[in-house]
Structure formats: structure tokens, C-alpha cells
């Protein structure tokens, strides 16, 4: 069952987070490796979700519950991630639906994975949170991205 959001979040047009999203969030924030979040870890996660929710709502101005792939690029930038065009294309292929729109759950899943990538030692990050990865490394960093995709 999806993790519900508060009733004030109806304009997100979502029933909550998927099991995959919840697992990703716990994996990202579980600093002590227990498979559970303590209060401090949960507070950090909740603050991230609220920050990302504000960004999503900014671009979800029509309250349709999704943003298009162009808005997704801007939203990812607003969240503090600077990616190359190849990575934006990969993100769109993985997270957008057939209409090239990204819903709130997919948006959060994407940002959780990006946050995890920025915290990994194999990424080349600058003080401005700019990341440079070749698409193959991005897919290997996030194995679920490889579903239905060919790595070139």
C-alpha cells in the first residue's frame, strides 16, 4: 500500500509513495545500516521531501499532478543538481510516462536516487554540486534504471 501524504497535498494527484520509493528513501537516509530510520534520519528525510514537494508544486502550476520533461530539468536544477544533457535524457526515459510527464512519486524517486549518487565516492562532484557521469555509470549506480533501457 502506498505511503499516504497529508490531506493538504491533494493537488499532487497522488495516492502516496510506492513501495519502491519508500525503500529508496529508507536506503538513502539509513545512515546506521539498521534498515530503519531513527528520529534524526526521519526528520532529515521529511525535510527533503517537503523541500522537493515545494519544487514540484512550483512546476505543477496547473495542479494536474505531474510536470513535463522540460519542467523536470528545471526542477532538478532547483533541487541543486546540475546534470549533463545525457543524464537528463536518461532521467526522462526512466521516470516519464508515455506523455513525457513525471508524477510526484517518480519525481521523488528520481531525486532520492540523485541524492544517493551525489553522496557516493565514485562520483565527481564540485562544490557547486555539479556531477559528471557517463550514462553507463549512472545506470550502474541505479540498477533499476536499466529496466527496459539499452546502455550505449
Statement: residue 120 has pLDDT above 80 = no
Rounded to two decimals, the pTM is: 0.71
Fold of the domain spanning 13-146:
Recoverin; domain 1 (1.10.238)
Write the DSSP assignment of 42-95 as a string of letters.
HHHHHHHHHHHHHHHHHH-TT-SSEEEHHHHHHHHHHTT-B--HHHHHHHHHHH
Mean pLDDT of 46-65: 92
pLDDT tens digits for range 78-99: 999 989 899 999 999 999 999 9
**pLDDT number for residue 116:** 79
Kindly indicate the confidence band of residue 77, based on its pLDDT and cuts at 50, 70 and 90: very high
Statement: residue 43 has pLDDT above 80 = yes
Mean pLDDT of 10-22: 77
Backbone phi and psi for residue 112, each to the nearest 5 degrees, phi listed first: -65, -45
CA angle (140 as vertex; 143, 23 as ends), nearest 5: 35
**pLDDT number for residue 54:** 95
pLDDT tens digits for range 127-136: 555 555 545 5
Mean pLDDT of 63-80: 93
Residues of the chain above pLDDT 70, percent: 69
Average pLDDT, the chain: 78
Q: Can you give the residue ranges of every domain in the chain?
A: 13-146
Angle between helices 39-59 and 104-119 (to 10 degrees): 120
**pLDDT number for residue 122:** 47
Amino acid at each position: 500500500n502506498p505511503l499516504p501524504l497529508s490531506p493538504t497535498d491533494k493537488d499532487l494527484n497522488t495516492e502516496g509513495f510506492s513501495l519502491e520509493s519508500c525503500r529508496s528513501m529508507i536506503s538513502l537516509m539509513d545512515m546506521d545500516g539498521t534498515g530503519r530510520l531513527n528520529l534524526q534520519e526521519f526528520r532529515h528525510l521529511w525535510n527533503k521531501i517537503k523541500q522537493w514537494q515545494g519544487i514540484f508544486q512550483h512546476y505543477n502550476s496547473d495542479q494536474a499532478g505531474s510536470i513535463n520533461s522540460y519542467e523536470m530539468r528545471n526542477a532538478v536544477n532547483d533541487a541543486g543538481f546540475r546534470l549533463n544533457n545525457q543524464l537528463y535524457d536518461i532521467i526522462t526515459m526512466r521516470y516519464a510516462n508515455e506523455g513525457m510527464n513525471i508524477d510526484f512519486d517518480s519525481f521523488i524517486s528520481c531525486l532520492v536516487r540523485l541524492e544517493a549518487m551525489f553522496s557516493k565516492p565514485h562520483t565527481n562532484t564540485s562544490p557547486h554540486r555539479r556531477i559528471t557521469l557517463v550514462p553507463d555509470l549512472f545506470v550502474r549506480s541505479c540498477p533499476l534504471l536499466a529496466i527496459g533501457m539499452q546502455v550505449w
